[in-house]
Amino acid sequence: MIRRWISPLKDLGVQLLSLYLLIIIPALMILFAFDKLAGQRIQADVRANDLSLARTIALETDLSINKSLQAVDALSLYPSVLTSNPEKMGKIFNIFLQTRPDVNLIYRLGANGIMLYHYPIGPSSTVGNDFSFRDYYQNALTSKKALVSKGRISPTTNQAVATAVMPIWDGNHFLGIIATNIKLVSLSETLGEIVASRRPEEGFEIVILDSSAQIIAHPDSHFLLENAQSILPAVYAPALAGESGTQIKNNAEGEERLYTYTPIPSAGWGVIVSRPTETAFATQITIHRITLIVSATFIIFGLLVWILLSRRVIMPIERLSSLSYAIGSEQGISAEERAQVKSISNRPDQIGHLIRSILRMEESIATRINEQKTLLETSKAVVSTLDPQVVLDRILEQVQKLFDVNMCAIVTLDETRNAFRIRASLGLSKEYAAQLIIQPTDPNSISMRALNTMQPVQISDTINDASFASRLPLAEREGYRSLIAVPLKTQHTPRAALLVFRPDPHIFTRNEIQLLVNFANHVTMAIENATLYSRSDMRLQEQTHRIESLVHSLSDGLILSALEGGVIYANRRIGELASLNPEELIHTSVENILNRILLNTPNREEIHKKIENALSGKEERDINFPVISFSGRIYLRLQVFDVTDTNGKAIGRGLIFRDITADQEVDRMKSSLISTVSHELRTPLASIKGYATTLLADDVEWDETSQHEFLTIISDEADRLSALVDNLLDLSRIESGNLNISRIECTVEDLIQRAAKRARLQEGNKLEVALNPNLPTLYADPPRLKTVLRNLLENAVKYAGDKAIIRVEVLCENDNFIFRVKDNGPGIPLEESGRIFQSFYRVDTSLARIASGAGLGLAICQGLVQAHGGEIWTEPQQKGACIAFSIPVTQMGNENEE
């Protein structure tokens, strides 16, 4: 038996014992206190009682002695006594003796101690005997008062006596004494009476001692005149010294007695009263015994109750507790333990009842645990994978084990066909599994019935079931006689049912069905888990993939690095910039990537330093720098940012490299625009101002021809200025997309000539125009087309020089007019030919090669040609430049397009 250790303080037995002691100890204490107090009181009473007895005896004796003393005192005054007249003394003494039965002799001693006379005279007269040796005689010689002698045997009466003595003095002349012998026997008789009045078992002993500690009175006269030591322990000394009190002593026989003593003052004697303590304190002893008996009774009773309680209640409870502890634990309940508990369970009382009900409970719990364990094992096996098909297969394996069947299957709704099919099976033939198709509307299908009612449906014998008749041949071929369908309560997956087949006719019991339903719930959970997981996993992967592709294909380079500089992620653009393949990107450091990007950069050290500062967060985190890549010089802007967690703590760094070459180009173009426009506008202005001031100069008189010439130039230059402004406006329209083309019929030859006129051809220039015959009619916007031609001619003059031969060819190909403007100048470098049509782009920015207006001119040409629906391009030729453009052949009516 496993006895769990319980701290003694918490043990029920100890607790009960403590409670009992708690009640009993005060009671016992009170009892003992009472016993003690009562004992003391009783003892005090007994002692007081004995003392008063002793005192009474002492008083009585004292009285008797006093009387004797008074009597001798009185007798001493008789003249006959003085004179020792025997006859007269005889009479007096006779009378005296008559009144005093306690006195047995009265006598007169002479001054010399000789017995002069005694009464009664008796047979053995001592008259004439010398008694001067007697202590009382000796004492009387020095005393004038009456006195008492010690006890002794009177030779005269031969009895134990004590003598009352009166010395007789005549003045100072000692005449002898008169004395009476007090019978000690009579004293003893008094004591005997007192003792007799007591109960004999009280064991009273009363003794009177004389001053020399002789016993002079004792209930038993045998003890008379014996020394007190013979019967008493040393308790009498205080009494003879005049004190009274009590003492407990053992007597000669070893008996414990209470001795009470008190003095008899007139004689210097003492009274000793004694009795055994056993009788003296009998009450107290009785009370004490009762106390002890009661205590013992309580203790024994308590012990008995406790033992009873332990054996009958606590022990069974402990058994019970270890039993209930064992229920469901790994070890289970041992046979020995079970036997012990079983014996207790036979008891008819509440404990027995409790044990019986717990045993029943244990049994049912064990059954349930077993069931759950089985289910748990099966579902553990089932959920150990998330692949839906594997899950189904495992489920069926578990069904085989759990229900000890060979054939089972799961049917699910095939959503594409809207029919139920076997999704997974065990023990069924492949043909059966493939052929079985259940229409959702089939009323005879057991699966459908189960799914529609959401309750298990069974056929206990296929041969006898009418609804199964149509499927009987199939069932016979597969070899099953009974089957059950359990619906799966699916929510997120298609409807499904679990089928279990048996080869024999079988009625599935309630327990079997319950177990199947429970199992089906586990199965549902597993199927749904697997399906949902595969769905969400797919979605997550898709999303991650999408974000990754997005970041990956950003035109900006992105690096995410750990704080210590290792690259966590770098996108494709970084790979391009650093010439690293994706593999290399993963296993590298930011430092390495930077070094590779900056490989051919001018001022490499300086830029590297700046980037390092930005990375350490010291300086501005935006840095622009040029790098030389395989596609030429590009400008990058590096932005460094901290990647922080939700608490704002930096966990890494991000670096974004943005290609700002185009932005830089735009900036360059903008400043180029300003300087170009400034130059373009100032050139004609310079001529205008120059000639105007020339005409205005006071110191020179110009002839009329010159004046006219100057004014003409002023006018021409003003036209040029205005054309330039028109060009700028056109350009801005082209750039903003607001250019309107209005096509009308034009003559090509006329257009060329008019453009040439405005193109300021130099005297040395030669213009050749070659028109293809049979040109169709050209519909175009004449001012715009003229501008195109004029710009091209001007460019030819500018680049080819004053002596240039300029040739304009026009032909028609594929419904397009093709215009070619050729010169015999230096030509256009091949690598520049693509860019010359960009606004403000001029071949080589060095001023030496710049001809005014070219930067705008070609861009304007391109805009205007494109507005006509045509294209402009350069054509390489052996010497000089050739720029060509096309204008589509259109019919009237197709015009007015934007």
Note the residues at the interface with other proteins (CB under 8 A). 675, 678-679, 682-694, 696-697, 699-700, 702, 706, 713, 716-717, 762, 798-799, 801-802, 846-852
Question: Rounded distance, CA 390 to CA 396, Å?
Answer: 10
Integer Cα distance of 412 and 394 in angstroms: 16
Q: For other proteins, which is the closer residue by CB, 631 or 846?
A: 846
Residue-by-residue DSSP string for 231-259? T--S-SHHHHTT--EEEEEE-TTS-EEEE
- 485 vs 436: CA distance, rounded Å: 15
Q: Which of 587, 876, 898, 861 is nearest to 743 (CA)?
A: 898
Please say which residue, 614 or 767, places its beta carbon nearer to other proteins.
767
- Lookup result for tokens 């759950």: 372
Considering the complex, what minimum distance in angstroms separates the CB of residue 696 from other proteins? 7
Q: Least CB distance from residue 801 to other proteins, whole Å?
A: 8
Residue 195 or 688: the one with the smaller Cβ distance to other proteins is: 688
| Gap between the Cα atoms of 8 and 443, Å rounded | 72
By beta-carbon proximity to other proteins, the closer residue of 477 and 803 is 803
Rounded least distance, CB 625 to other proteins, Å: 24
Give least dist CB 649 to other proteins, A: 48
Minimum distance from residue 671 beta carbon to other proteins (Å)? 11
Contact (Cβ atoms closer than 8 angstroms) between residue 559 and residue 593: yes
Pairing of strands 872-874, 816-822: unpaired
Tell me the three state secondary structure of residue 884. Answer: strand
User: Is 111 in contact with 174 (CB distance < 8 Å)?
Assistant: yes
Residue closer to other proteins (CB basis): 278 or 716: 716
Count Cβ neighbours within 10 Å for each residue of 652-667 and write b for 16 or more, e otherwise: bbebbbbbbbeebbee
Q: Which is nearer to other proteins, 40 or 845 (CB)?
A: 845
The rounded distance, in Å, linking the Cα atoms of 343 and 324 is 16
Neighbours of 849 (CB within 10 A): 13
**Rounded Cα distance, 449 and 439, in Å:** 12
State in angstroms the smallest separation of the CB of 700 from other proteins: 5
CB of 682 to other proteins, least distance (A): 4
Residue number, 339 or 848, with CB nearest to other proteins: 848
- Identify whether the C-beta of residue 427 lies closer than 8 Å to the C-beta of residue 509: no
Cβ atoms within 10 Å, residue 777: 12
From the CB of 841, what's the least distance to other proteins, in Å? Answer: 17
- CB contact at 8 A, 307 and 20: no
Nearest approach, Cβ of residue 860 and other proteins (Å)? 20
* CB closer to other proteins out of 426 and 761: 761
Least Å distance, CB 796 to other proteins, is 12
What phi, psi does 216 have (nearest 5°)?
A: -110, -10
Nearer CB in complex with other proteins: 324/675 = 675
* DSSP string computed for 636-696: EEEEEEEEE-TTS-EEEEEEEEEE-HHHHHHHHHHHHHHHHHHHHHHHHHHHHHHHHHHHH
Smallest gap from residue 876 Cβ to other proteins (A): 22
Among left, alpha and beta (phi > 0; psi -120 to 50; other), residue 185 is alpha
Q: Nearest approach, Cβ of 716 to other proteins (angstroms)? A: 8
By C-beta, is 807 or 842 nearer to other proteins?
A: 842
- Residue 339 vs 847, nearer CB to other proteins: 847
In sequence order, what are the residues at sequence separation of 6 or more whose Cβ sits closer than 8 angstroms to the Cβ of residue 60?
190
What value does the CA radius of gyration of the chain take, rounded to a whole number of Å? Answer: 77
Closest CB to other proteins among 754 and 760?
760
Q: How near is the Cβ of 674 to other proteins at its closest, in Å?
A: 10
Q: Which is nearer to other proteins, 565 or 764 (CB)?
A: 764
The residues near 646 (Cβ < 8 Å, ≥ 6 apart) are none
Residues 6+ apart with CB under 8 A from 3: 318, 322
Q: Which is nearer to other proteins, 46 or 800 (CB)?
A: 800
Nearer to other proteins, 275 or 798 (CB): 798
Give 47's contacts (C-beta < 8 A, 6+ positions apart).
246, 258, 260
What is the smallest separation between the CB atom of 873 and other proteins, expressed in angstroms? 24
Nearest-approach distance from CB 824 to other proteins, in angstroms = 15
Orientation of helix 748-758 relative to helix 782-800, angle to 10°: 50
Q: Which residue blocks in 310-349 are alpha helix, DSSP H?
A: 315-326, 335-345
Q: Which two tokens stand for residue 640?
A: 């460094």
Q: Closer CB to other proteins, residue 36 or residue 760?
A: 760
Q: How far is the CB of 667 from other proteins (least distance, A)?
A: 17
Q: Can you tell me the distance from the alpha carbon of 544 to that of 403, in angstroms, rounded to the nearest whole number?
A: 45
Nearest to other proteins of 835, 849 (CB atom): 849
Q: To 5 degrees, how large is the angle CA 409–CA 410–CA 413? A: 140
Nearer to other proteins, 109 or 793 (CB): 793
Q: Which residue has the tokens 């005060």?
A: 26
Distance CA 262, CA 259 (A): 10
Tokens for 872? 């402009």
Instruction: Calculate the CA 888 to chain-centre distance.
Output: 85
We find the least distance from the C-beta atom of residue 552 to other proteins, in angstroms, to be: 45
> How many angstroms separate the Cα of 247 from the Cα of each of 46, 442, 786?
12, 122, 165
To other proteins, the closest distance from the beta carbon of 793 in angstroms equals: 16
Nearest to 219 by CA among 198, 246, 189, 181: 189
